[in-house]
Chain A
Amino acid sequence: MPDSVSAAADELYYRMWLVRYFDEKVDEMFAKGMIHGTTHLCVGQEATAIGGCAVLRDEDKITSTHRGHGHCIGKGADVNRMMAELMGRATGYCKGKGGSMHIADVERGNLGANGIVGGGIPLAVGAALTSKMMKQNYVVLCYFGDGASNEGSFHEAVNLASIWSLPVVFLCENNQYGMSGSVKEMMHIEHIADRAAAYGIPGVVADGNDLLEVIRVTDEAVARARRGDGPTLIEAKTYRWKGHSKSDGRKYRTREEEAEWKAKDPILRFGSTLLASGACTQDDLDRLQQRARADIEAAVQFALDSPMPDIATLEEDVFA
């Protein structure tokens, strides 16, 4: 395990549980009718969310997807304000106007979740352009899914980033399905990372359920970007345990397939690694897990205690 990771191992393990409990709780609250609208959960994808962001500096930026709660937590968002946003409260990150699909924390470098598949990829390229033109030396980590890699915006943006050698890392969370469309059905290649060759940049396939591997490949790609050597396309193979959104009966895949992936739980895997390396005891791990659970319960309470937005704010913030 790299030193930088073992120093932060507790925090990473805790954050993975924070993501898991956040989304499990959101699932439960939707079922109870306590959250309005829709949601896209990233249960099972904790390693890419936390591992990708783990190598970033504060000034680095991310763009996210509509399955973005984990990315938000990875970039350091406060779960109280996140939960408040999902519940449409005035204390939420977007004053209750964005909800699950549009959480952003621009000041902390989270340029936002995006409800349009592939919509955030060109934004990441633009943010990287700012870094290069203004010599700010930050890197942009662009999260997107397997479905987005079939959008024109992906191909246009990766090409642009490549010809301009921009400091951006394209991190594809290949969770095997774009809504109900499996990657096997929707693309005729084995690895999305192979698409990197078309743009003359490195393409890396990684086990997206292995936190340490995600950290290692992202760290290399970020270092390359920071050196001025341009973008990398990483494909992290993972799986979303839940359906696409709350209305999904998951008829397009088998329960056996789900069980296979659940056996590869990224959090339990990292826990085993920590135990095996002696970095943590089982008590340590239990304590971190409990802390995450308690923090999510507190976030729900914070949200419930928060006021609804004043109707007078309806027409605010259209223009700066």
Chain B
Amino acid sequence: MRQMTYQEAVREAMSQLMREDERVFLMGEDIGIYGGAFGVSRGMIEEFGPERIRNTPISEAAITGAAVGAALTGMRPIMELQFSDFVTIAMDQLVNQAAKLRYMYGGKASVPMVVRAPGGSGTGAAAQHSQSLEAWLAHVPGLKVVQPATAYDAKGLLRAAVEDNNPVIFYEHKLLYGTKSEVPEEPYTIPIGKGDIKRAGRDVTVVATSIMVHKALHAAEVLEKDGISVEVVDPRTLVPLDTELILNSVKKTSRVVVVYEAVKRGGYGAEIVSTIVESDAFDYLDAPVVRLGGKEIPIPQNPELEKHAVPQVDDIVTAIRKMMRKA
């Protein structure tokens, strides 16, 4: 099958959806001729024109609110936040409007919109352009949050997100845009709320999100040489969470490491750990659960410092070796 980058997969999903459904359109800063800050919408304005690839002023609250209003009246907007950090300026529209309107209105409305939010560190863009803020959004009832780790998942999940009748936060990682995987040409859907076993193993489960899926897979290869068999579980969707998939894996391996790039404190990994210890999988655990996340600091610019701010392959390897030695 053909290989495709994550960036191309997102673009292909958007283009296919826009060809099929006139209600789907794209809105955001510099998404037109410029092609988006990360080139995700490159070339789309040539096919769809400026009415459907709507270049906006730098006005995150208005872009987000306009997406809510358009969704409320029958459109299916996809909006790009350019950098997920800018969600701070759009927060009222996401948290107080998009997420709550349906409930507040007694189920008489729906808000089918997608917020594409490029996040994550590793580009040297420093503290205001490198965050992973998905836990903030996962905390709000009424928002769905997905974090695809591969090009294949990105294409299928984006289709599911656009077809979903609710506001969906589509958290992309900037360092994943250039990564490749096999991606079918024809449209397909990956259900929101369905996780994936990215690698089967028997000794320890690593629940990893977004770019950490790749780091966990790398760590698993290293540990295989030590005779440690690692299972890598990618929830793919934070809200709703595929609890069953995670718990079954934990019951199988009896050990679990949860790894995510966002700041460890208050991060979504804590939610995954709690879900495990509150369940009957707790009885299967042979070791305390380990959580690896970003340090409690803003992301620094210097590449060496930046690397140390978030979990790396070595950190995962070390954590698992330590856990196995205790066993």
A contacts, CB < 8 Å to B: 61, 63, 92-98, 102, 104-107, 111-112, 114-116, 119, 121-131, 133-134, 152-153, 156-157, 159-160, 163-164, 316-320
Q: A94-B105, A160-B59 in contact; A119/B142 too (CB < 8 A)?
A: no
- B51 to A: closest C-beta gap in Å: 7
CA distance A94 to B103 in the complex (A): 8
Q: Given A112-B101, A122-B66, is A159 in contact with B106 using a C-beta cutoff of 8 Å?
A: no
* Residue positions of B touching A, CB distance < 8 A: 22-23, 25, 51-52, 54, 56-57, 59, 61-75, 77, 92-93, 96-97, 101-110, 112, 141-142, 144, 165-166
Tell me, rounded to whole Å, the shortest Cβ–Cβ distance linking B282 to chain A.
25
A102, B109: Cα distance in complex, Å: 12
Pick 25 A–B contacts, CB within 8 A, sort by A: A61-B73, A93-B108, A94-B108, A106-B72, A106-B105, A111-B72, A112-B109, A116-B97, A119-B65, A119-B93, A119-B96, A119-B97, A123-B65, A123-B66, A126-B65, A126-B68, A126-B71, A127-B69, A128-B69, A130-B75, A133-B51, A157-B66, A160-B56, A160-B57, A320-B166
Q: Is the CB of B108 within 8 A of A122?
A: no
Contact A156 B97 (CB under 8 A): no
> Which residue of chain A has the shortest Cβ distance to B98 in the bound complex?
A123
In the bound complex, CA of A320 to CA of B107 (Å): 7
Shortest beta-carbon distance from B29 to chain A in Å: 12
Known A130-B74, A130-B75; contact A104-B108, beta-carbon cutoff 8 A: yes
Contact A318 B103 (CB under 8 A): yes
Task: List, in ascending order, chain A residues with CB within 8 A of B101's CB.
Answer: 104, 112
For B54, B93, B108, B144, the residue with the greatest tally of chain A CB atoms inside 10 Å of its CB is: B108
Is A122 a contact of B106 with CB atoms below 8 Å?
A: no
A153 touches B68 (CB 8 A): no
* Residues of A close to B65: CB separation below 8 A: 119, 121-123, 125-126, 153, 157
- Given the interface contacts A106-B109, A123-B69, A126-B66, does A98 sit within 8 Å of B59 by beta carbon? no
> In chain A, what residue has the closest Cβ to B144?
A319
Determine the chain A residues whose CB is within 8 A of the CB of B66 once the complex forms.
Answer: 122-123, 125-126, 129, 157, 160
Given contacts A153-B61, A160-B59, 11 further A-B contacts (CB under 8 A): A102-B104, A104-B101, A107-B108, A111-B73, A122-B66, A124-B69, A126-B65, A126-B69, A126-B72, A160-B62, A319-B166
A152 CA to B62 CA, complexed, in Å: 9
Identify which of A104, A129, A157 contacts B70 (C-beta below 8 A): A129
Contact of B106 with A92 in the complex, beta carbons under 8 Å: yes
A67 to B87, CA, bound (A): 28
Residues on B with C-beta less than 8 A from A111 are 69, 72-73, 109
- From A138, which residue of chain B is reached at the shortest CB distance? B73
Among B23, B57, B104, B110, contact of A156 (Cβ-Cβ < 8 Å): B57
Cβ–Cβ contact B69 & A115, under 8 A: no
- The minimal Cβ–Cβ distance linking B21 to chain A, given in whole angstroms, is 12
B73 with A127: CB separation less than 8 A: yes
Q: Judge whether B61 and A156 touch: CB under 8 Å.
A: yes
CB distance from A70 to the nearest CB of B (A): 19
Are A163 and B75 CB-contacts (below 8 A) given A122-B64, A127-B69, A157-B62? Answer: no
Given A94-B106, A133-B51, A153-B92, A320 and B165 touching (CB < 8 A)? yes
Tell me which of A106, A107, A123, A163 has the highest count of chain B C-beta atoms within 10 A of its own C-beta. Answer: A123
Residue of B62, B103, B112, B141 with most partner-chain A CB within 10 A: B62
Would you give the shortest CB distance from B20 to chain A, in whole angstroms?
A: 16
The smallest beta-carbon distance between A302 and chain B, in angstroms, is 17
Complex CA–CA separation, A163 to B97 (angstroms): 24
